[in-house]
Structure formats: C-alpha cells, structure tokens
Structure 1
Amino acid sequence: MFSVENAGESWEALQRAVDRIVAIIQADPHKERIDRIITRWLKRHLHRLGAGINLDRLNSLVEDKAMLAENLENLVKKERLEGRQEGRLEGFAGLLRMQLAFKFGDLPSWVDEKLASATDEQLGEWGTQMLTANSLEELFKH
C-alpha cells in the first residue's frame, strides 16, 4: 500500500503497485476479506488523487484487475496526449514570442500573458497577422 501512496500521480507506477498488491492478496488464505478492504481503500485513494475514472464497478482488485489496468492505461494515454498538446502550444507561443520580439523589440508583460493563455487558433491567427501588423496593439486588438 505504501507503493500505491508513493506512486503519486504516476499511473504507471500505480499499476505496478496494484499488481504487487494483487499478488499478495492472492497468496493470503483470507484473500476475500483482504481484497474487499484493500479495494475499498484503493477506490478512496484514487478518488482523492482525482483519477477521473469510474470506480463504481470495481468490487475486487483480484477479479477486476484487468478493468482497473485498462482504466489506468487510458489515463496514461490521455495524460500523454494532453502533455504533447500542451508542449506544442508552449512551443508555438515561444516561437511567436521570439518573432514578435524580433519585429517589435522588447515585449511588454501583457504580451506574455496573452501568449500564455492563447488557444491554438489564436496563436495561428496572430502568427499570420503579425506579418502585416504595425504594432503590438494592432495585432492584439481582436
């Protein structure tokens, strides 16, 4: 259980820890009772972490191990996709910032704030419009 708590929000480490717990439960002569107790604890723990998975159908770590593994794998995939998208946006915003600084000189802090909170579409529009904009104010007036 310490491995589960120490996994933090690393869903892959959490899955490895759950696999170890299931092996321990299966080897215990009182496996049904221990399974119920640990399953209940794990559901609460995942809820506290904000795992965002539906645990209503999880009644037994031993019996529902595959379902839990699938849910954790989907979380890992979702996090990786979100991380790639976030990194892509940050990279594009950084490139646009460099181009704006090259064209307009030192940038005021409000430009950094705009770039940091921009959507993919906004960054694309500003990247195109900066070619003809005469000032930062003109570019960001929209």
Structure 2
Amino acid sequence: MLPLVLYNGASPWSAADTLDPLIEPAPAVLDSYRPRQAYLLLDEQQRAKAGTLPEHNLCTALFRLEASRGAEDVLSILQALVNWLQAPEQTGLRRAFAVWFGRVFLPKRLPGVDMPPLNDLTEVYDMLADNVETWTDQWKREGLEQGVEQGLERGLNAMRHMLVRQARRRFGPAIAEQTEPVLAHIDNLRQLEDFGDQLLLSQDGEDWLDAVRKAGSDEDR
C-alpha cells in the first residue's frame, strides 16, 4: 500500500506529512513505538511550476493544466494532447480528458458559464479557440479575485499557525491543541495579531484560552 495525496490547490500544501507531529510527545522509552506513517504528496501546481516534469507525459499535461493561468496556456497544452492521443485505441483517454474539462476544469475557471456536453478533446479545443478573447478576460478577472482571497487566507493561516506554536511553547501541547480549533473560526487578521500580545500577557494556559474563547464568541455574535 502506498498512501498518496494528490493535491491541486493554489497555495502550497502545508499540512503535516507524517503522523509524528500530530501525536503527543511520549517518554523516551516509548518513542520508538510512536506511529510515523507518512504519505507521498503530489502537489500538482508546485511540481508544474518547478519545471522538472517529464515531457510527452499525460500526468505532466494534467499538472500543467491545473497550474495554467490563461486560455493561451490551456490551448497549447490541449493541442499537444490532441496530437498525442490520435490513435483509435486512445479514444477512451480523449473522452476522459474532455469530460474532465467539461465537468471539473472549465466550471472552476469559468463559474456561471454553461458548458455543453463535451465528448472529445477536439471539441474542447475548438470551443476554447473560438472564445479565447472573451474567456481570457474572464479568467483574468477570476484570477485577480481569487488571488486576493487566497492571499488573505494564507495570511490568516500563517498567523493561526504561529499562535498555536507559541501557545505550545509557552503553555504546553494540551493548551495548544485546545487553541487551534478556536482560532480556526476567527477570520479577522487584526484580531489574530492582537492575540500575539495577549499570549505574552496571559498568566497561564487557562487565562489564555479564556481570552481566545471570549474573542471567538464575540465574533460569532
């Protein structure tokens, strides 16, 4: 068995890649018995951006499509796929890619646009080529909006992660574990920054948790 994570999100994968950091520290005599299961991470966009993927490869084409930032890039990759998958025995692959485009890729890039049923890659290519200017403008707008949202979310996640780490170092893993789910519901960056001061002012872990929980309940109201 090979545990595998296939990730196509825009921001880099940031979760723990083994069980080890998710388990409470154990006495040294028991350390060798702690589970350390790991998984193989395939971060599609990061691998595509690194430029180390093999050429003339279907997985490479998929990863580059996920990392593409405009209609022209997509058309170039599509043309390569059409050229590669011309043999009659590859009809199923051509249709699988076409269905993925129609049901997954294009709805994500062009929300609100009705897609006709797509059964072959040449249909996908022709449809994109006929509307390249209109869709390029829409993709740019979507990209700007998503970029702002993703940038804010990355900032929030980084601040939450830092606060949990500081809580662990100051008050221990039990307090840090209780801190994490409370911070996950707070989406105000300024408030998270203020928690950095609160962490220094709190006398103990319970005092810190009370302050964080109170702030979280106030935001819910």
Give the TM-score category using the shorter length. Answer: 0.5 to 0.7
Percent of aligned pairs with the same amino acid:
12
Contact 1:130 1:139 in 2 (8 A): no
- Hey, which bits of structure 1, 4+ residues long, moved more than 6 A? none
Unaligned runs of 5+ in 2: 1-57, 80-97, 117-125, 215-221
CA drift of 1:112 comes to: 2.0
Q: 1:115 to 1:15 in 2, by over 3 A?
A: farther
Counterpart residue number, 1:66: 133
Confirm or deny: 8 A CA contact 2:198 2:208 kept in the other structure. no
Indicate the residue corresponding to 1:37 in structure 2.
Answer: none
Distance 1:47 1:70, change over 3 A: farther
Provide, for residues 113-142 of structure 1, a one-character-per-residue CA deviation record: whole Å limited to 9, x for no partner.
223343125424533444543323322331
User: With structure 2 as the length reference, what TM-score do the two structures score?
Assistant: 0.41
CA RMSD in angstroms, aligned pairs only:
3.8
Which residue of structure 2 aligns with residue 95 of structure 1? 162
**C-alpha distance in 2 between matches for 1:15 and 1:46:** 18
Helix, strand or coil at the partner of 1:51: helix
Say if 1:78 and 1:113 are closer, same or farther in 2 by CA, change over 3 A. same
Report the TM-score when normalising by structure 1: 0.58
Query: Is contact 2:186–2:192 with CA below 8 Å preserved after alignment?
Result: yes
- Structure 2 residue corresponding to 1:119, chosen from 173, 187, 193: 187
Aligned partner of 2:68 in structure 1 is: 11
Q: How many residues are paired up?
A: 122
Q: How big is the shift at 1:16?
A: 1.1
What amino acid does structure 2 have at the position aligned with 1:140?
A: V
Q: List per-residue Cα deviations over 1:45-65 (Å, max 9, x = no partner).
A: 244234152324999433321
Gaps of 5+ in 1: 23-40
